[in-house]
């Protein structure tokens, strides 16, 4: 071949894809074999290793100036040991790429910048692969994430097939709002923990999802498990999106980090937030936006003495912003409000801690809300009794919107209020003072 060819290879699931570019409309390209290197035009780069017990099916798609050769490879070699790793792999996938111009000096930062987008490997995952001996630079294993690297270096990353999770699948009914090959959206009931923890080792949403999804979980972070990218409290009901693949997990996590996911909650609170309330305007961190929208801006961090609580801070902690507006008011004088809250950030207990901070704690919240003495005659006895007996925080994740991390489609879902929330609202409406 007279013209130079530049090869780059990415992985899509278990498919190794080699793309060749040249200045003529016809190219002969050959994808890498498992555990080997790339070749083109009969030349060998860094040697070629051919293993037995191997099948390969090649599919070539030709367009002007580009040919894509896709190899679907099955290897029956077992007990393969990666250099620098104590881990034996049943199967793995190879990702090869060149480091671009002016790379960051550290290996982990450089490969995080230049790894093909289709590989969907986060920097955290890449660091683990480097330390585990699964990354080579110009044919040599490099296990130090801080190692220096230069432009033009050939990097190969071997990603092991996902392992079975240690978490136990449990046949627990769940309400599925949407499901496809990449993600699942569920409407979690109050009383269900999202992820197993020392105090809740089973009966969680993750246990239910492992059972429900079965073999459709292709692996997140090297393990066959659901990719939880956000959580809601045990006693909060409503919508969550969970990734089923590494690619979806990577894309969803990036959206949550960029605060582009739409999350709207419904809540019942004591009192009625009002921009004309001088007390509320005097609370630190409070401001109002057009339309009587209350904005709360603080830091949040662990409480010094109660580890179950989040404390509102103005130094230290993590930045937290909540906006809320009143939907309806109840009582004479007005004593309870249904509000809509939406999050700019998503910190632990954010809405609960913020609403308590401004003096409008959530009804039923045993940690932040508590019980409040209402004005005499503000509500009927039936309504007051219902408020006192409400056994969880009156908080529901009602709307969830995001961009599908694989298809790019805008996704938006709404979950109706659960029965206990609705029943309480009906008592407030039908039993005025």
Active site residues: 233
Give the rounded distance of the alpha carbon of 6 from its chain centre.
35
Which phi and psi (to 5°) does residue 43 adopt?
-90, 155
Query: Nearest CA to 193 among 229, 225, 226, 234?
Result: 234
What tokens were used for 177?
A: 């709002």
């Amino acid at each position: 071949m007279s013209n130079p060819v530049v090869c780059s290879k990415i992985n899509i699931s278990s498919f190794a894809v080699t793309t060749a570019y040249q200045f003529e409309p016809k190219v002969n390209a050959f994808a890498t074999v498992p555990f080997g290197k790339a070749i083109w035009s009969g030349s060998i780069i860094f040697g070629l290793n051919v293993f037995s017990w191997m099948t390969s099916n090649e599919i070539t798609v030709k367009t002007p100036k580009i040919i894509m050769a896709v190899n679907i490879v099955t290897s029956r070699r077992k007990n393969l040991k990666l250099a620098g790793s104590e881990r034996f792999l049943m199967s793995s996938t190879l990702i090869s790429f060149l480091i671009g111009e002016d790379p960051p000096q550290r290996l982990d930062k450089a490969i995080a910048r230049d790894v093909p987008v289709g590989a969907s490997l986060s920097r955290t995952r890449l660091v683990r692969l480097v330390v585990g001996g699964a990354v080579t630079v110009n044919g040599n294993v490099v296990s130090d994430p801080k190692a220096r690297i230069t432009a033009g270096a050939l990097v190969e990353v071997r990603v092991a097939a996902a392992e079975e999770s240690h978490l136990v699948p449990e046949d627990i009914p769940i309400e599925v709002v949407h499901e496809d090959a990449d993600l699942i959206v569920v409407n979690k009931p109050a009383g269900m923990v999202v992820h197993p923890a020392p105090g809740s080792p089973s009966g969680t949403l993750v246990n239910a999802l492992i059972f429900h999804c079965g073999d459709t979980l292709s692996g997140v972070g090297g393990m066959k498990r659901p990719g939880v990218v956000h959580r809601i409290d045990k006693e909060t009901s409503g919508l969550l999106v969970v990734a089923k693949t590494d690619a979806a997990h990577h894309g969803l996590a990036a959206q949550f980090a960029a605060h582009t996911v739409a999350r709207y909650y419904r809540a019942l609170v004591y009192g009625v937030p009002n921009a004309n309330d001088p007390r509320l305007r005097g609370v630190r961190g409070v401001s109002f936006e057009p339309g009587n929208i209350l904005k709360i801006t603080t830091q949040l961090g662990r409480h010094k003495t109660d580890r179950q609580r989040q404390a509102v801070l103005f130094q230290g902690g993590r930045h937290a912003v909540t906006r809320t507006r009143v939907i309806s008011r109840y009582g004479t004088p007005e004593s309870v409000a249904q509000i809509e809250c939406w999050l700019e950030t998503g910190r632990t207990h954010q809405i609960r801690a913020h609403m308590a901070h401004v003096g409008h704690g959530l009804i039923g919240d045993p940690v932040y809300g508590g019980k409040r003495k209402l004005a005499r005659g503000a509500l009927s006895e039936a309504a007051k009794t219902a408020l006192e007996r409400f056994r969880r925080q009156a908080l529901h994740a009602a709307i969830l919107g995001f961009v599908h991390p694989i298809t790019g489609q805008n996704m938006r879902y709404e979950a109706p209020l659960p029965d206990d929330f609705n029943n309480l609202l009906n008592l407030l409406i039908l039993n005025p003072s």
